[in-house]
């Protein structure tokens, strides 16, 4: 189901039937192997995550669905990069933009949707198993979980796919 929030922001709910635990296990394993980017806020894998995972069936299912939805926004796109963000008690993400054309955020695990994505001061809820697509050059940020609420929320996992137009 698509919810068009504007002509530049698209939200799709109930994206894939694959259990989230399978992806979380893969992401946690990548982090334990040292695939943790030190140049950005905690905790983000390097931006080659899909390249490392593309032979796994559940990642193929996710990517196929993400690409399908992104191509409904712009048919001339190519995957540029992909990474996972894990929001924990000591994470602190800030507003930023990307040098690519479209960003797609898949909300994998997020107990409270209000900890979604802030886009130009609009908070888009981050419901589990939903996909948010928007212009990557628009200022945006993960909505940080206040440390005192973290024991209730637990970590928030998302997978990001950045695309360039060809």
Domains parsed from the chain with CATH numbers:
2-165 (2.60.120.620)
Confidence at 140, pLDDT banded by 50, 70, 90: very high
Confidence at 156, pLDDT banded by 50, 70, 90: very high
Q: What percent of the chain has pLDDT over 70?
A: 96
| Mean pLDDT of the 138-166 span | 91
| Mean pLDDT of the 5-17 span | 84
Pairing of strands 2-4, 130-135: unpaired
Question: CA triplet 111, 116, 122: central angle to 5 degrees?
Answer: 145
Select the more confidently predicted residue: 6 or 146: 146
Q: Specify the pLDDT at position 81.
A: 97
| Mean pLDDT of the 136-157 span | 89
Q: Specify the pLDDT at position 8.
A: 78
Confidence at 5, pLDDT banded by 50, 70, 90: low
pLDDT tens digit sequence for 26-44: 999 999 999 988 888 788 9
| Sole residue written with tokens 């990642």 | 59
Helices (H), 97-164: 150-153
Confidence at 125, pLDDT banded by 50, 70, 90: very high
3-state secondary structure of 53: helix
3-state secondary structure of 56: coil
pLDDT tens digit sequence for 43-98: 899 999 999 999 999 999 999 999 999 999 999 999 999 999 998 888 778 889 99
The contacts of residue 6 (CB under 8 Å, 6+ apart) are none
Q: Specify the pLDDT at position 1.
A: 55
Q: Specify the pLDDT at position 107.
A: 97
Q: Specify the pLDDT at position 158.
A: 96
Distances in whole angstroms, Cα of residue 68 to Cα of each of 12, 56, 108, 162: 11, 18, 18, 14
């Amino acid at each position: 189901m698509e919810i068009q929030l504007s002509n530049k922001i698209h939200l799709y709910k109930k994206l894939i039937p694959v259990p989230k635990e399978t992806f979380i296990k893969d992401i946690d394993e990548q982090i334990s192997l040292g695939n943790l980017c030190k140049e950005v806020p905690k905790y983000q894998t390097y931006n080659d995550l899909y390249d490392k995972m593309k032979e796994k069936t559940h990642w193929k299912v996710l990517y196929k669905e993400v690409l399908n939805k992104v191509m409904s926004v712009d048919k001339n796109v190519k995957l540029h990069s992909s990474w996972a963000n894990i929001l924990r008690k000591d994470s602190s993400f800030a507003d930023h933009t990307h040098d690519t054309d479209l960003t797609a955020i898949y909300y994998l695990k997020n107990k409270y949707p209000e900890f979604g994505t802030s886009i130009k001061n609009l908070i888009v809820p981050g419901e589990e198993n939903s996909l948010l697509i928007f212009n990557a050059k628009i200022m945006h940020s993960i909505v940080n979980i206040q440390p005192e609420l973290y024991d209730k929320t637990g970590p928030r996992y998302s997978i990001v796919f950045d695309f360039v137009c060809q």
